[in-house]
Amino acid sequence: MPEFLVDSPQVKQLLSRAAGLDQPGSDQRLKRIVHRVAEDMCRIIEEFDVTPTEFWTAMSYLAELGRTGEVGLLVPGLGVEHFMDLYMDEKERKAGLRGGTPRTIEGPLYVPDSPMVRGEARLDQDPEEGEVLFMEGQVKDASGGPIPGAIVHVWHANTKGGYSFFDPAQSPWNLRRRIETDAAARYRFRSIMPAGYACPPQGPTQRLLTAIGRHGRRPAHIHFFVEAPGYRKLTTQINIAGDEYLHDDFAFATREGLIPEVVRHSDSADIQSHGFDGPFAAIHFDFTLNREAANLPETVVIREHARAA
């Protein structure tokens, strides 16, 4: 007799039939994946001596994740979305690709089709007390050449860590824009310094994190997609230096190369020359895109998103 029930001929046959492996045709890869998932569930039950009540608690948990829209929140919390980045990095490395701005996770809060502007944008629409933020830079190719007409999708949280569309207190498209780089490949925007995000305290993601002794906080950050014809789409974020969660992100998205210096301007001549009316924080950050090539893994991700009304 095998040591584990899951390895017995009876259970082997059960799982093989459950995954359709005893039938010819259809999607073989899918069958193998379904088989692995079912088998691993059975292994967990046996190895951890899971009771029926515990098992159904776990199934209710998954249903609650779906119901509350938190699937996309637990996944980064478990490190799996970051693993996808590491896996893509490794595939690119094996294909010989080096350099470019590091990718990091998209997260669950992107909304497609934000307002498009050329060159520069003002992101903050809703009045808030906070630090004025000015961010600018260039989109470049691997040899440092400018990419005019690139699209920089930018989205970030407000001073309370909330994102428009998900936070009903904000107006539609607050802190969300698409900026097309100008003739010199530059983008620039004025906004307000974001605060770090915290998982909904009553939600299923935070409940699990708390149960395993973790917090659900992210450092302040700004998300980007950067795309241009002929180049690989970049999904990334910058983190705000000095944040207490900078190297303790519950979503594991902080990466070297994505923590630009934040320069505080409070000198009045300095303020005037930038066209502002008070102190502001400035970030300079250039994006470097890699050329698209046939042997590289796809960077355009098809993923369900919230839809603007």
In whole angstroms, give the CA distance from residue 130 to residue 191. 10
Contact status: 282 vs ligand MBD (CB under 6 A): no
CA 8 to centroid of chain Cα atoms: 41
Closest distance to ligand MBD from the beta carbon of 198 (Å): 9
Contact status: 97 vs ligand MBD (CB under 6 A): no
- Tracing tokens 């980045």 back to the chain, one arrives at 85
Name the segment binding ligand MBD (CB under 6 A); options: 106-114, 166-174, 184-192, 295-303: 106-114
Contact status: 105 vs ligand MBD (CB under 6 A): yes
Q: List residues near Fe ion by CB under 5 A.
A: 107
Q: Which does 209 bind (CB under 5 to 8 A by kind): ligand MBD, Fe ion, none?
A: none
- Tracing tokens 């802190």 back to the chain, one arrives at 175
Size of the site for ligand MBD (CB under 6 A): 10
Closest distance to ligand MBD from the beta carbon of 108 (Å): 6
- What would the two tokens of residue 209 be? 């994190």
Closest distance to ligand MBD from the beta carbon of 283 (Å): 17
Backbone φ, ψ for residue 44 (5° rounding): -60, -45
- Cα–Cα nearest to 134, from 285, 10, 30, 259: 285
Q: Which long-range contacts (CB under 8 A, 24 or more apart) does 89-97 make?
A: 91/296, 91/297, 92/296, 92/297, 95/293, 95/295, 95/296, 95/297, 97/290, 97/293, 97/296
Contacts of 142 (CB under 8 A, 6+ apart): 99, 100, 288, 289, 290, 291
x/- map, 58-77, ligand MBD, by CB under 6 A? ---------------x--x-
User: Is 39 or 203 the residue whose CB approaches Fe ion more closely?
Assistant: 203
Closest distance to ligand MBD from the beta carbon of 109 (Å): 5
Q: Report the C-alpha dihedral over residues 80, 262, 166, 175, rounded to 10 degrees.
A: -130
Question: Which of residues 31, 42, 70, 107 is near ligand MBD by CB under 6 A?
Answer: 107
Contact status: 196 vs ligand MBD (CB under 6 A): no
Contact status: 162 vs ligand MBD (CB under 6 A): no
Closest distance to ligand MBD from the beta carbon of 35 (Å): 31
Contact status: 251 vs ligand MBD (CB under 6 A): yes
- What would the two tokens of residue 66 be? 């779906």
* Bridge partners, 283 (sequence order): 135, 262
Closest distance to ligand MBD from the beta carbon of 78 (Å): 12
What's the burial of 120, exposed, middle or buried (CB within 10 Å: 0-12/13-18/19+)?
middle
Instruction: Output the residue with the shortest Cβ distance to Fe ion.
Output: 107
Interface contacts to ligand MBD, rule CB under 6 A: 73, 76, 105, 107-109, 197, 218, 251, 253
